[in-house]
Structure formats: C-alpha cells, structure tokens
Structure 1
Amino acid sequence: MRLAKRKLFKQLEDRHLAMPVITDPIKSIFPEQPSIFPKNSLGFFADQMRIPVAILIEQFSDAGIYGLTPKYQITDADKSSLLSYLRAQHSAKSRRIYIDNEPIEQQLLVVQDITIELLTALAKKPCLIHSLAPRKFEELVARLLEDNGCEVTLTKRTRDGGYDIFGRIKGTIASPVFLAECKRYAPSNKVGVEVVRGLYGVTEGRRANLGLVITSSSFTKDAHEEKLRIGDRIELKEFDDLCAWLSRYKSIECKQTTPSDTTRLLPKA
C-alpha cells in the first residue's frame, strides 16, 4: 500500500511543480494558528503543526537535542536534526495511521478531469461550481488542495467512511494529516452542525491532525458555534474560500473560451 501511495504522490508532486507558485501554499489553505508562545519558539512550532508541545519536545529528545522548553528558540540546525531523525525512523518503520483492507486500486483515484481550462473558467465565474456533479466537486477540491502543496488521495466513489479526501500538508517536518469532507450544496442550502460533528468524530477516530469541511455554500450558525467549541482540530471552508483558492488560475494563460465552450467544459455527472 505504501509503495502505491508513493507513486501516486510522485505524480501529484510532478504536476504541482509545473504550476506557478502565487501564494504561500500552506497559509493559503490553513491560516496560522494562534499561539501563546513567541514566534520561532518550540511551543509556537508545535501549535502550527497542531501537536502537543510535550510530543515535540520528546521528538527532539529522541533526535539527540535535550533539555528544551516551550519557549526555546528553534534554529535551522535543530530542524535539520529533527528532520533527519524522523526520516530515518520513517525508513526503518513507517507508522500506520489506519488500516484499510480494500485493494489499493479500489481506494485511490487520480484526479484527471479537472483541467486548467475548467479551473480558469471557474476562477472567472465561480458560480459555475454549483453546476458540477457532487463527485466532480470532490475532484475539484482535491485538485485545489494538491495545487496548493498538499499530497491528496480521493476515496472511492461508493465508499462512505465519513470523509472524501485524505491528505498531508507538505512543507513541515511532521507533515500533518488531514481529512476533508466535501459538500456541493446550492447557495441556499447551508451545511449543518451534524456534518461538523460527524467529521470531528472521524478525525478523532483516524487520529488525523485536522478535519476540513469544504462546501460550495456556507455554514449554519450552529455549525460555526460547534467549530468554536471543538477548536483548531476542525476548519470550515465555504464558497468565498473556494473563490480565493481559484483566483490563482485567473492569470494562467489557456485557450480562450466562449460562453458555450465554458458550459461544455463542465464535467458531466
């Protein structure tokens, strides 16, 4: 399973490198987390990775850096030592996050239908998102996350494990794991609190670092209040956030389309 995932991630990374980098990929998806610790301190670093400070201190100790405190200012040398240690540990013994007995080819789907032409059309006219079939909306979200620096896998169409996308945030030492649930709803149909609670339960059960609910509409008041109660283990992204993610494609040159061409570009259900 791990070999197949590495091959898939390599394909996704190659495609990402071909895209122009317009914004900081991590901050454009997951905003900087509030922290009581000074910037560049060990505690601040732990908060950004959404892991307990004690675990990060333990990891540094295992890497041979002892006696650290949450306010310790981390240097590049410290990060390199920790990264070398984690890579060695991963090579020696990969930790399985969860077990799935389905054949790998039944689990993973490479996003192929979301073309640059379609992304450009959606960037110029985001309301077309609501014309996508629910599955194509999931593929769109997976592509947006991928192009913003994440490694993503899309679950099987008929699978209902409580999430649609499994991903890792690249660019950090720990590569935090996230689960995303996609809801392609009409603008008037808001996502309710039960979806937020459901994904939080799956996030806890799968031991992921973050749960992400992404919708083409918006969220109810109860859903926002539940997110505040849960804290930073859950993030809510709605239509305006999708518009912001799509904005990077406005400047990408592609074949000029007419209104009828734009309609033709929308994948069929």
Structure 2
Amino acid sequence: MGLQKTSKPTTTEAPDFLMQPFREVPSIHPRDSLAFFADQLRIPVAELITQFQSAGVINLSEHSFIDYEHKSTLLDFLKRKHITTSQIFEDKAPLANRIEIVHSINLELLKVLARQPHLMHQLDPRKFEELVARLLEDNGCEVTLTKRTRDGGYDIFGRIKGIIASPVFLAECKRYSPENKVGVEVIRSVFAVTELHRANLGLVITSSSFTKDAIKEKVRIGDRIELKEFNDLNSWLNRYDRG
C-alpha cells in the first residue's frame, strides 16, 4: 500500500478556531501551585483537591507545588474513571518519540467522502484519524498521528503554520455512529491532556455529535477546547467535490 501521488487542493490558512491565541487564565496564585492549576482548569480549589485525593494524592493544599507527576497521576485517574480502556497515560517520552507521520488518505477517497460523507462512519477508527489528520493538514496545519500502540489521551499532534509562535494543538478523534454522541467525560479528559502537555488548544473531532452536557462543558472551559462534529467534517470535505 504505497503512497499514491495525487494532486490536492491548495493548502489554505488554518481555520479560524485554530487561530485563536492562547489565553492563560489570570491568577493571583504562584505559577505551578495547586491554586494556580485550579484557576487554569476553571474549577474551585476544593474540588481539585478532592479529585487529587480520589486519585491517591493526599495532603495537598492550595499552596502545594504541582509538578508533572501530580498531573500525570490525576490524568491516569480521570482516564480510568471516564474512559473505557485498559490503557492509561504513562508515557513521559518526548513527543518526537511517540509520533508518526501518516499520509495514506488519497484524493480519490476524499472526493468520495465529499459526495457521500455518511461513508466516514464505515471507516475503521485508525483510518478516521488519518482522515482528520489529512483535513487539518490541507487546512494549513502541520500534523502527525500518535502511533497505534500508544494511548496518551490524544490522536493527533499539530502545529499551526503561519503564526510566529507556531501554537500547538492536540486532537482526539472519535469515529462514532450517528446515534452515539460524545459525552462530557471525553471533553474533560482531552482538556486535562491539553493542560498536562501545555498545548494551546485541545480538539475533539467526531463523526457523530456531542451531548448537551459535553457542549456545556466546552462553554465552561472556554476557547482552550474546540468541538467539531459530522457537519463540520462535511463542510471541510466540500472543497474536494469541485470539478
């Protein structure tokens, strides 16, 4: 299954939702303190302490220093609690060691999906991830997919080209059937991963749609998280159905 040389639409600028500048939540607390972390997560300090306690991290106060190990322990707990998988995030290797570039979605398939977008529900999950990566790439992003055997809480690592700071985003892809909506647990998990890796933006992209609670959670979090569903993918695909 070698790469097939095909022409593709001219790369455009990144979508508006990817161009939003990173905004750190104002905080009166010292950076890397638990209280500062709570401010970034937009939750009360007491609630964050309770979450840490549930994850097995005790004796914390709002003044406690929160490091990578603390955050990783909390993320492990959240993934075990909210996501149906036996794998938890435990990979501390540099991002460069965990990613692979994938270019196996060719123009012919994109044209078919542009005309019959419902067929994306028949793609296997990995092929759906490749589709999303290709769409993001064609929209002005530099993207790589995480390897199949790793579960770090996200599927795509991306950088937005054309901006001096080259903001980083992490995307989680959910190839769900139309009736299976993405729930609030996924949104919380992706936001936790985004915070853990200090990425500028977290994306949740699905072939279905989102529950009301998931949408409310996105509104609560703000512009650090973006949700894209079937209709958005269909809109991105429309550019391939020309001529």
Q: Which band: TM-score by shorter chain?
A: 0.5 to 0.7
- State the partner residue of 1:49: 21
- State the partner residue of 1:119: 110
User: Which of 116, 121, 125 is equivalent to 1:134?
Assistant: 125
Residues 77-108 of structure 1, C-alpha deviation per residue, up to 9 Å, x if partnerless?
A: xxxxxxxxxxxxxxxxxxxxx9525883xx33
- State the partner residue of 1:165: 156
In 2, the alpha carbon distance for the partners of 1:138 and 1:53 equals 31
Name the CA shift for 1:53/1:234 in 2 (closer, same or farther; >3 Å).
closer
User: Which of 169, 184, 204 is equivalent to 1:213?
Assistant: 204
In 2, the alpha carbon distance for the partners of 1:178 and 1:115 equals 24
Name the CA shift for 1:113/1:230 in 2 (closer, same or farther; >3 Å).
same
1:110 is displaced (CA, Å) by: 2.6
In 1, the alpha carbon distance for the partners of 2:201 and 2:95 equals 24
TM-score by length of 2: 0.66
Residues 130-150 of structure 1, C-alpha deviation per residue, up to 9 Å, x if partnerless?
A: 010000000100111111110
TM-score by length of 1: 0.60
Q: Which consecutive residues of structure 1, in runs of 5 or more, have no partner in the other structure?
A: 1-14, 33-47, 55-97, 254-269
Tell me if structure 1 keeps the 8 A contact 2:9–2:138.
no
Alignment of 1:102-117 (within 5 A): 104=97, 107-117=98-108
User: Which of 128, 145, 157 is equivalent to 1:154?
Assistant: 145
Alignment of 1:61-72 (within 5 A): none
Alignment of 1:1-269 (within 5 A): 19-21=8-10, 24-27=12-15, 30=17, 48-52=20-24, 100=93, 104=97, 107-251=98-242
In 2, the alpha carbon distance for the partners of 1:111 and 1:117 equals 17
1:112 is displaced (CA, Å) by: 2.9
1:27 is displaced (CA, Å) by: 2.8
Report the residue type matching 2:93 in the other structure. Answer: D
Percent identity over paired residues: 66
1:49 is displaced (CA, Å) by: 1.8
In 1, the alpha carbon distance for the partners of 2:232 and 2:207 equals 9
- State the partner residue of 1:11: none
Name the CA shift for 1:102/1:53 in 2 (closer, same or farther; >3 Å).
closer
Tell me if structure 2 keeps the 8 A contact 1:164–1:180.
yes
Residues 14-71 of structure 1, C-alpha deviation per residue, up to 9 Å, x if partnerless?
A: x9xx64338x53236x266xxxxxxxxxxxxxxx3224599xxxxxxxxxxxxxxxxx
Q: Helix, strand or coil for the counterpart of 1:129?
A: helix
Residues 114-155 of structure 1, C-alpha deviation per residue, up to 9 Å, x if partnerless?
A: 110000000010000001000000010011111111011100
Name the CA shift for 1:197/1:174 in 2 (closer, same or farther; >3 Å).
same
